[in-house]
Chain A
Amino acid sequence: MLAKFIFMRFVKALAVLLAVTVFSFILVRAAPGDPATVLAGEQGAVDAEFLDRVRARYGLDRPLPEQLVLYVSRVATLDFGVSYRFNRPVIDLIAERLPATLILTMSAFLIALVAGVAMGVFSARHVGKWQDLAITMMALLFFALPLFWIGLMGILVFSVWLGWLPAFGMAQLGSSWGKPGYVLDVLHHLILPATTLALVYLATYARMTRSSILEVMNLDFVRSARAKGLPQRRIWTHHILKNAILPIITLASLQAGHLVGGAVLTETVFAWPGIGRLAFDALLQRDYNLLLAVFIIASALVVLFNFIADILYSVVDPRIESVS
């Protein structure tokens, strides 16, 4: 049953990726002007001979359906062409920067999840009191923060004024993997961007956890647990939290896309060398082929996160298999 469920979800993930690829193909064709200039990554200033080479390479002289098949099969083999600005294969550029984005988004996710759920639990345990109100207000404030702005404010306060944290980059100049202190160095650089990216989602998790707990808390099985004299701690961990966690997994899955999108802004603000920053560089240089490749890979990342969340959900809640 579980295998079948996972297989179905896998097929669905592939279908989404196919749709995203077709979608970006349509975008290349729908872009104003010659699609060859879009794929060449150089709007305007390119010579005719070069464009002919691009046309031949992407089969732009052939009928549309054939072009689509060619495009999809290229993407399927991770062939996104060459970025003429960077003068390197697009997939190399992305592969090089993917780890930085994963580190950033995963840390932000963990911070948001742990702190958000903790705040939600705290809030629910003090429902109606000032602690609850304070956390609700905090969530409201966090929720309205423009990500790029709060990142800049973080730099202003913690780097410029206090001098505690580095303002940009992933490591000190000259520091690299394997050198002593590298991991600590990266962690030091990670604090500001990860916290920035986490803030907004933290608010969402806090609110969701609070309302989810309040809902579960009054259900019959919790009352039974109380009535048969189970210790408070056990009721919280085994009865309330275990059930209240389900909507939180759904939320985490739904927010994966926002997290990856938010990485573009965060990485731009902090010059974090991930694919979000790469997307920004592609924008600056009008390298739309590179931009679309980042878009496809970012979508793939989200699909992967959703896939993991689906499996996790079915493990935590065995009922889900029969429903879906």
Chain B
Amino acid sequence: MSALATFSRNKAGMAGAIVLLLFTLIAVFADFISPGDPWRMAGMPNLPPFQGGFLFGTDQLGRDVAAGVVHGARVSLVVGLVSTLFSIVVGVVVGSVAGYFSGFVDDVLMRVTELFQTIPSFMLAIVLVAIFSPSLVSIICAIAVVSWPPVARLVRAEFLSLRTRDFVKAARVGGHSHLNIIFRQILPNTLSPVIVMASLMVATAILLESGLSFLGLGDGNYMSWGFMVGAGRTMIRNAWWLSTIPGLAIFLTVLALNLFGQGLSDLMNPRLARRRQG
């Protein structure tokens, strides 16, 4: 059976994939779904949902909440994907070098990895973004800086178990360079757990980004869900929808990513999936 067919039988994973697809479409076509600047005043301030023709109402400055949710999907998904990509690259390089060469190199790299795992990651992200001033670039870099250690550990463990296999020995005898063995021979064999981890990391990255922009460390040029929750915070008594709705969007996206990641994991590791089900 093809992988796609197997995956499609996983109901939770499929539900996650569908919600993700929906949010991706919203992000891609944001300018068509909700034309114009989401920051502009669109109507009377503090309208509850469904009033005055606004699906999710308006905020204290008369901005359309629905427009904010639509455009906010962009920031969440872009930051989630790009920062995960960066942390995967860093994690793969560190993990494969440590696992392949082992010994002293491994020791040093693993101490650094442990250090990054000990430092409270959200605090570190706050400090980085604050000091380098908030922008999409600084947010993405900060999230990548705090997220790579688990990837490095995973890749390292895979390399440690693969480096003594016969095909690696054969490649070494065949005179292949270290670089070639690492990237062409061993790395492809470690990809499936890395892909599973990546899908879950996107979820964590989106939570981190929303937390940062909630604290006011978002990029002021782009509407984001965390910013909306933070901006509506002081209005919680009078205008519950301002914080509730964008937060719900974060929650759904993260939940969908987790379900999708779990589905991927089951697909790539069916034995483990059966054990998990008891």
Give the chain A neighbours of B133 by CB distance below 8 A.
32
Q: Does A5 contact B (CB under 8 A)?
A: no
Tell me the minimal C-beta distance from B139 to chain A in angstroms. Answer: 14
Tell me the minimal C-beta distance from B118 to chain A in angstroms. Answer: 5
Q: Are the C-beta atoms of A265 and B229 separated by less than 8 Å?
A: no
Of residues 94 through 142 on chain B, the ones whose CB sits less than 8 Å from some CB of chain A are 115, 117-124, 126-128, 130-133
Known: A146-B254, A152-B229, A265-B214. A299 touches B131 (CB 8 A): no
Q: Are the C-beta atoms of B251 and A144 separated by less than 8 Å?
A: yes
Q: Does A257 contact B (CB under 8 A)?
A: yes
Q: Are the C-beta atoms of B127 and A140 separated by less than 8 Å?
A: no
Q: Are the C-beta atoms of A147 and B131 separated by less than 8 Å?
A: no
Which of A20, A260, A261, A299 is most buried by chain B, counting CB atoms within 10 A of its CB? A261
Partner of B236 from the list A146, A152, A264, A280 (CB cut-off 8 Å) is: A152
Q: Are the C-beta atoms of A279 and B123 separated by less than 8 Å?
A: yes
Partner of B210 from the list A146, A160, A214 (CB cut-off 8 Å) is: A146
Q: Does A24 contact B (CB under 8 A)?
A: yes
Of residues 253 through 272 on chain B, the ones whose CB sits less than 8 Å from some CB of chain A are 254-255, 258-259
**Proximity bits, A266-305, B CB within 8 Å = 1, else 0:** 0011000000000110011010100110110011001100
Known: A258-B122, A261-B123. A144 touches B217 (CB 8 A): no
Q: Does A67 contact B (CB under 8 A)?
A: no
Give the chain B neighbours of A20 by CB distance below 8 A.
115, 119
**Proximity bits, A178-189, B CB within 8 Å = 1, else 0:** 000000000000
Known: A156-B244, A257-B117. A299 touches B215 (CB 8 A): no
Q: Are the C-beta atoms of B123 and A283 separated by less than 8 Å?
A: no
Partner of B250 from the list A127, A149, A279 (CB cut-off 8 Å) is: A149
Q: Are the C-beta atoms of A19 and B115 separated by less than 8 Å?
A: yes
Cα separation A140 to B240 with both chains bound (whole Å)? 25
Give the chain A neighbours of B251 by CB distance below 8 A.
144-146, 149
Q: Does B237 contact A (CB under 8 A)?
A: yes
Q: Are the C-beta atoms of B211 and A146 separated by less than 8 Å?
A: yes
Cα separation A156 to B122 with both chains bound (whole Å)? 25
Give the chain A neighbours of B236 by CB distance below 8 A.
152, 155-156, 160
Nearest residue, chain A, Cβ from B122: A261
Of residues 14 through 62 on chain A, the ones whose CB sits less than 8 Å from some CB of chain B are 16, 19-20, 23-24, 27-28, 30-32, 38
Give the chain B neighbours of A284 by CB distance below 8 A.
216
Q: How large is the interface on B (under 10, 10 to 19, 20 to 34, 35 or more residues)?
A: 35 or more
Cα separation A30 to B141 with both chains bound (whole Å)? 15
Q: Are the C-beta atoms of B211 and A128 separated by less than 8 Å?
A: no
Give the chain B neighbours of A156 by CB distance below 8 A.
236, 240, 243-244
Partner of A144 from the list B131, B211, B255 (CB cut-off 8 Å) is: B255
A-contacting residues of B (Cβ < 8 Å)?
115, 117-124, 126-128, 130-133, 203, 207, 210-211, 214-217, 226, 229-230, 233, 236-237, 240, 243-244, 247, 250-251, 254-255, 258-259, 275-278
B-contacting residues of A (Cβ < 8 Å)?
16, 19-20, 23-24, 27-28, 30-32, 38, 127-128, 132, 140-141, 143-150, 152-153, 155-156, 160, 211, 214, 254, 257-258, 260-262, 264-265, 268-269, 279-280, 283-284, 286, 288, 291-292, 294-295, 298-299, 302-303, 306
Of all A-B residue pairs in the complex, the 4 with the closest CB atoms, nearest first, are A261-B122, A149-B247, A144-B255, A127-B278
22 CB-based A-B contacts, threshold 8 Å: A143-B258, A144-B251, A144-B255, A146-B229, A148-B247, A150-B247, A152-B243, A153-B247, A155-B236, A156-B236, A211-B276, A214-B275, A257-B120, A264-B126, A268-B215, A279-B123, A283-B126, A286-B130, A291-B126, A294-B123, A295-B126, A303-B118
Known: A146-B211, A149-B247. 4 other contacts (CB 8 A): A144-B255, A146-B210, A286-B130, A291-B126
